[in-house]
Structure 1
Amino acid sequence: MTTGTSPLDAEDLRVRVQKRLDDFLAQQLPVLDDVSPDLAPLSEALTDLLRGGKRLRPAFAYWGWRGAGGADCEEAMAAATSLELLQACALIHDDVMDGSDTRRGLPAAHRRFATLHRGNEWLGSPEAFGVGAAILLGDLCLSWADELLMSCGLPTDAVMRGKRVYDVMRTELMAGQYLDLLEQAMGGGSEARAMRVVRFKSAKYTIERPLHLGAALAGAPEETFVAYSGYGLPLGEAFQLRDDVLGVFGDPAQTGKPAGDDLREGKRTVLVAAAVEASSPAQAALIRRHLGDPALDATGVAALREVITDTGALGHVERLIDALTDQCFRALGSADIDDDAREVLRGLAHAATSRSM
């Protein structure tokens, strides 16, 4: 990796992932066009969504492959790129469940389709149409993710090894999404419950399983999977905790979402759980009053931020991030993997937990 190059750009990964996505869409979108020109808004929404993103999951899958001895090749890059379509599915559905307004600086898919309905003065509820269209678009991304993985061009036995990991990853992701919904419905619980959501909704899906996918495609021994878990699980948890901090304190220009949007959506994160557990009665009342208020203004956001800081929750989560990151680096240092891949994975760990990500 060249000095000064982002680890996400090692081996031109982001450029190559985008090209793979563009090539795949060039094959798939005409299928929709042949069905009906009325499907053009679906194609446009997906094309716009897939132009953004950090490409973390393809990066971990590709470098999981390289770390296990796989050579650089377009077939492995195609397999890794399939995870961007799975991520698109997860983001679209997650925005529906959270009622999010924006994604990557653009209107969330369900908002986009609601606006389309409203602008054309169609019958029925614009919001219901938007939700239905977004669910279908997410389902389409899920289907196409399978198709890209299965047609990546690697030998059939390698693809089938990878598919087994991919199937487990999808199951864990959906389970984690449900646990997240459950926490919101129950009004949040302990920090331990919030960490369980972190593990299954994000940590495994973002880092550990993509690494395992690369290892499986390369036919790696069990020791490599164990080493990748030792690195990937704590890093994945640190990554999500960092994302939660940015969701409250981050710069909208970097996060692509309005300031304090996670507070407006009422997300029951580890950050919030820690604040609730350490709050005074007055602070707890303020959290109950403001958290999850869709009309929360800048004053309300500032008040919640103050409680999260004053209770020590922010400092606690920052220390957790540091401890988990240290754990992942120790595991990476002792892993029996390719040295070039180790260097990139070290850089990816820094990128995944950066305060300015």
Structure 2
Amino acid sequence: MTEPTSPSDAAGAVPADPGWPIAAPNLPATDRTGLRQRVDKSLAWFLADRRAWMAEVDSALAPVADAIEGFVLRGGKRLRPAFGYWGFRGAGGNDSDQVVKALAALELVQASALIHDDLIDRSDTRRGEPAVHRRFATRHRAHGWTGDADGFGDSAAVLLGDLCLVWSDELLHAGGLDPAALSRARPVFDAMRTEVTIGQYLDVLTQATGDTSVERAGKVARLKSAKYTVERPLLLGAALAAAPAEVEAAYSGYGLPLGEAFQLRDDLLGVFGDPAQTGKPAGDDLREGKRTFLVAATLEAADESGRRDLQRLLGSPDLDAAGIAHLREVIVASGAAERTERRIGVLLDAALAAIESAPIDGEARAALIDLAHAATTRTD
């Protein structure tokens, strides 16, 4: 892979007319030091290189490059690289484009997880655009190819998600970091990818068995989302900076409760969110049958009629707008939505207390405080 040679382009040059918009900043904490733009440039540079390589293999791979570039570069909050970066800076690491490139690999892990998640959940959209499996099924139909269009789309999504996961490894190693730093980071990166994968399996298992306990919902949330959104990126940055044990402990004390709060906000948005903001259909989590903390809390507290309706309608692919509105009423009436909001507040306070007392750089502390508020009050 050819490295950019111009100092001004050290994070990877974006083509003059790339054909897609760089995602607009929507979380100020991810844009300190121009971080968001630098992550975007690193991703654009890497994906342009992969596109060129695939073009040499076979021109039929151009739609694969289009789909992955569109998915990765047209959206996303860049939260994970931000947590990784400020974890690195907080532990005494000096800013460098090499570190930003390595941490941009977290966005490819995220892309892999979302592509697979949309397939598993049979979601039609992501970020307001067709989900990857729907996109390739449409391509199959448009060309009049043989076989089952939906099956082709499903296969493509599995493979593109896998490709993003493979490429996350490549990008981690492509930025020019010192081999010793990469050696320290490798166990954290591997553990994160393992946790999100087994968390996804436990989520699928929970839906199949109908386990609606608060305890199970919490474990799934921690593995599938919480740890890999906040704690592991922080610890990845800490590893790159060779942080001492007390800094790593402080990051876990901040990252675990904040990651759980982030997921609880996601649960609320999955039921009550505005599709124009979330890019997903209204009430999608109810239609998909997600056994979230919100659902578990509702089943604990709802009256008999409410529990019966939730158990009957949750996970119904035919759940219409009226059904979603009714289940929202059941959730609110049970007090589960309010309970979830209170839980977010408790977890946020715990995270802020941990980072306030952490032995880290003051600028990084301020950034992590901003990120904590942004992650728990978001609307998309």
Per-residue deviation at 1:59? Answer: 0.5
Partners of 2:258 and 2:208 lie apart in 1 by 28
Select which of 103, 110, 115 maps to 1:87.
Answer: 110
Select which of 59, 68, 72 maps to 1:46.
Answer: 68
Partner in structure 2 of residue 14 of structure 1: 36
Partner in structure 2 of residue 270 of structure 1: 293
Query: Is 2:215 the counterpart of 1:206?
Result: no
Partners of 2:203 and 2:137 lie apart in 1 by 25
Partner in structure 1 of residue 94 of structure 2: 71
Partners of 1:241 and 1:144 lie apart in 2 by 29
Partners of 2:71 and 2:123 lie apart in 1 by 15
Long gaps (5+) in structure 1? none
Contact 2:27 2:77 in 1 (8 A): no
What code does the residue aligned with 1:124 have? G
Structure 1 SS opposite 2:31: helix
Partners of 2:78 and 2:317 lie apart in 1 by 30
Partner in structure 1 of residue 309 of structure 2: 286
1:116-127 aligned within 5 A:
116-127=139-150
Cα-to-partner distance string for 1:61-112 (whole Å, 9 max, x where unaligned): 1111000001111011011100001110011011111111111111000010
Select which of 172, 178, 184 maps to 1:161.
Answer: 184
Aligned residues between the structures: 354
Partner in structure 2 of residue 241 of structure 1: 264
Per-residue deviation at 1:49? Answer: 0.6
Partners of 2:210 and 2:165 lie apart in 1 by 30
Partner in structure 1 of residue 11 of structure 2: none
Partners of 2:142 and 2:207 lie apart in 1 by 32
What code does the residue aligned with 1:356 have? T
Select which of 289, 313, 318 maps to 1:295.
Answer: 318
Per-residue deviation at 1:31? Answer: 1.4
Cα-to-partner distance string for 1:120-178 (whole Å, 9 max, x where unaligned): 12111111111100110011101110001012211100011111110111111111111
Per-residue deviation at 1:281? Answer: 2.0
Partner in structure 2 of residue 36 of structure 1: 58
1:189-228 aligned within 5 A:
189-228=212-251
Partners of 2:102 and 2:338 lie apart in 1 by 39
What code does the residue aligned with 2:235 have? H
Structure 1 SS opposite 2:145: coil
Partner in structure 1 of residue 127 of structure 2: 104
Contact 2:27 2:374 in 1 (8 A): no
Structure 1 SS opposite 2:95: coil
Partners of 2:57 and 2:174 lie apart in 1 by 23
Contact 2:212 2:295 in 1 (8 A): no
Cα-to-partner distance string for 1:177-223 (whole Å, 9 max, x where unaligned): 11111111111320011000011111110000000000000011111
Per-residue deviation at 1:55? Answer: 0.5
Partners of 2:173 and 2:378 lie apart in 1 by 36
What code does the residue aligned with 1:156 have? P
Partners of 2:135 and 2:155 lie apart in 1 by 12
Select which of 126, 143, 147 maps to 2:166.
Answer: 143
TM-score by length of 1: 0.97
Per-residue deviation at 1:29? Answer: 0.9
Partners of 2:91 and 2:171 lie apart in 1 by 22
What code does the residue aligned with 1:47 have? E
Select which of 180, 193, 198 maps to 1:175.
Answer: 198
Cα-to-partner distance string for 1:19-72 (whole Å, 9 max, x where unaligned): 001100111111111111111111111111112100010100111100000111
Contact 1:241 1:270 in 2 (8 A): yes
Cα-to-partner distance string for 1:327-348 (whole Å, 9 max, x where unaligned): 0000011000000000000000
Partners of 2:136 and 2:233 lie apart in 1 by 31
Partners of 2:216 and 2:27 lie apart in 1 by 38
Query: Is 2:175 the counterpart of 1:188?
Result: no
Select which of 346, 351, 357 maps to 1:323.
Answer: 346
Partners of 1:279 and 1:164 lie apart in 2 by 43
Select which of 314, 330, 338 maps to 2:361.
Answer: 338
Long gaps (5+) in structure 2? 1-25
Partner in structure 1 of residue 9 of structure 2: none
Instruction: Report the RMSD for the aligned CA atoms in angstroms.
Output: 1.1
What code does the residue aligned with 1:61 have? G
Partners of 1:342 and 1:79 lie apart in 2 by 21
Moved over 4 A (4+): none
TM-score by length of 2: 0.91
Contact 1:246 1:355 in 2 (8 A): no
Partners of 2:378 and 2:305 lie apart in 1 by 30
Per-residue deviation at 1:5? Answer: 7.8
